[in-house]
Amino acid sequence: MTGGGWRPQRRSVLAGGGALALSGLVKPFAWAAGRSGLHGLSVFGALKYPADFRHFDYVSGDARKGGRMNFSPPDWSYNQSTQTFNTLNSFVLKGDAPPRMELTFDTLMARASDEPDAVYGLVAESVDVSDDANVFTFHLRKEARFHDGSPLSAADVAFALRLLKDKGHPTITQPMEPMVSATASDEATVVVTLSGKQNRFTILTIATLPILSKAYYSDHPFDSSSLEPPLASGAYKVGDLSAGRFIEYRRVADYWGKELPVNVGQTNFDAIRIDFFQERQTEFEAFKKGEITFREEATSAIWANGYDFPAFNEGKVKKNESFPEEKRPAMYGMFFNTRRDKFADPRTRQGVALAFDFEWSNRNLFFDSYIRLASYFEHSDFKAVAPPSAAEVALLDPFRDQLPAEVFGEPYMPPKTDGSGRDRAVLRRAQELLLAAGWRQSGSRMVDKAGTPLTIEFLIDAQVFEKVLSPYQDNLRAIGVSGSIRQVDPAQYQARLNDFDFDIVLAAFNLSATPIEGPPLFFGSKAADTPGSYNLAGIKEPAVDAALARLPAVASRDELIAITRVIDRVLRARHYWVPGWYLADHRIAMWDIFSWPPTKPAYAFEPEITWWFDADKARAIGYTG
């Protein structure tokens, strides 16, 4: 997930006429089929960097090593949390792990952040692709080593892939389903065989999964919670830690892969420290004191009025909004749990959503800093616009009788209120929708046929969200709906999300810049029944499932656009969420002790990886932390 402001931080997816030609499977990586010695892979075949590239364009090859960054991560994945941790096992469903454990592990290949869907060799020096594009043979660098000096072999890679597929976090195991086998044909050769039912992103996901030590995990249960640092091979290893309070990652000075092109100019800090806070104000106080040196500001009120403290006024702390958001689909909103009968009717969900007055909130709480989003693929070409194209209609037509008519027109947009906080016309429409859904007015309350009132509990893990939810509660009360806010501790919050034990939850997600693999995890019927999945709303839409089934066969970006726009149209018309808001640029606050490359990559923002400690700046402001 990832973050932005009055919102949870994020967990780090055809125009023109004519029907899509999807009658037969298009072989993923057909462009590479039968080729050997490839230094990189991409979804549609175009690689920016040649085999002899020195480093990525968005890093500085002369970046200095040293110093430290103490930061609050704005994004995380798997079972990670920024509020607490009780395990260092980051790749399973169980427990709460600290963000950035992935920095301690190597992978077969590494993603390029200035390309939408390309990976280049890290542990794997090259890869061969079979004629049918179902078998990928990775040739490993013989110099690869674990932190204890033992060789990283093909047996470790094959073991790791099989273990992750069998016992990994659901967001790992689901994309790995097409993997039939992973075997070591010799010490430096791994053969990954896919079923033929994979999508174009499957092998990229497999190639960027953590490589686990077979020796270590043969003696340590992989799916247990443990605070023992696992044996790994990456650029960092776990240093000091205190469970639930802080963790420090220490750069490995003799890291075997530091001179590889995919690593040059990156992982520059000697230490990366993460402190854990359950409330944002406490975190901000730590930042003001210099205990945290970098943060992405998530609260508009603090960004507007909170930067009035000695270190900022003396120029030691800087604010920066020159880093644009990534060109990746993003969604943020309040998700209805449709596994609960009271949210089964889309009209109920739409009525409840209409009671949220974004315009009032943006002016009175957000300092007019946000833009309302409408799409599940915001910030991208995959967002549905205008009436559907002929290609989209071809996908929608088989389900015409099951879909609301508006799916075939302009995509749904949340109405703009008068900003009063109590737009009577909008609230009247909300009540009409509830009545049409079968609720009836009983005094001041909406009740069902049995007389049970419509109540909604908003599940949160931080008090800051109460300020935006309280006015929403007032509007819900005005239409006869009783809303309550339930704040729970981080461990309970994650457990309830894993079990889908909530009415409405706030969440923010980013999809890949080429969203082939992610959408089934968020919108597929299978994911709706998988504990710990990202399908928080419990979406089960035949038209969406049919569109998702086309993803493995997608042969071009235009086809992918048509498929994702179909998904977007259906979901927007079905009202599975209360659409949230977004920023055009990152809001960065930092102590003036860092430098960074001149170019930010389009598809990622990773200061802890590409920035460096600037000793001259630190001396200039007297920073000694």
- Binning the chain into helix, strand and coil, the percentages to the nearest 5 are 30, 20, 50
pLDDT at 4 over 70: no
Tell me the pTM.
0.86
Taking the CA atoms of 572, 573, 579 and 581 in sequence, report the sign of the dihedral they define: positive
Lowest mean pLDDT among 5-19, 287-301, 444-458: 5-19
pLDDT at 434 over 50: yes
| Class level of CATH domain 330-582 | alpha beta
User: What's the average model confidence in pLDDT over 407-426?
Assistant: 97
> What is the CATH topology of the domain spanning 41-219?
D-Maltodextrin-Binding Protein; domain 2 (3.40.190)
Pick the CATH number of 267-325+586-620 from 3.30.450, 3.30.70, 3.40.190, 3.10.450: 3.40.190
Confidence label for 595 from pLDDT (cuts 50, 70 and 90) = very high
Question: Per residue in 170-200, is it b (16+ CB within 10 Å) or e — as a string?
Answer: bbbbbbbebbeebebeeebbbbbbbeeebbb
Q: Where is pLDDT greater, at 557 or 139? A: 139
pLDDT at 3 over 80: no
Q: Where in the chain is the domain with CATH 3.10.105.10?
A: 330-582
d(CA 113, CA 601): 6
User: What's the average model confidence in pLDDT over 291-298?
Assistant: 94
pLDDT at 510: 86
Q: Where in the chain is the domain with CATH 3.40.190.10?
A: 41-219
What would the pLDDT profile of 237-261 be if each residue is shown by its tens digit? Answer: 999 999 999 999 999 999 999 999 9
pLDDT at 464: 84
Cβ burial of 525 (10 Å; 0-12, 13-18, 19+) is: middle
pLDDT at 298: 85
% of the chain exceeding 90 in pLDDT: 83
Long-range contacts made by residues 533-538, C-beta under 8 angstroms, separation at least 24? 533/170, 533/171, 533/174, 534/11, 534/171, 534/509, 536/335, 536/337, 536/497, 536/500, 536/505, 536/507, 537/335, 537/336, 537/337, 537/338, 537/576, 537/577, 538/337, 538/338, 538/339, 538/500
Among candidate residues 298, 263, 255, the one with its CA nearest the CA of residue 277: 298
pLDDT at 568: 98
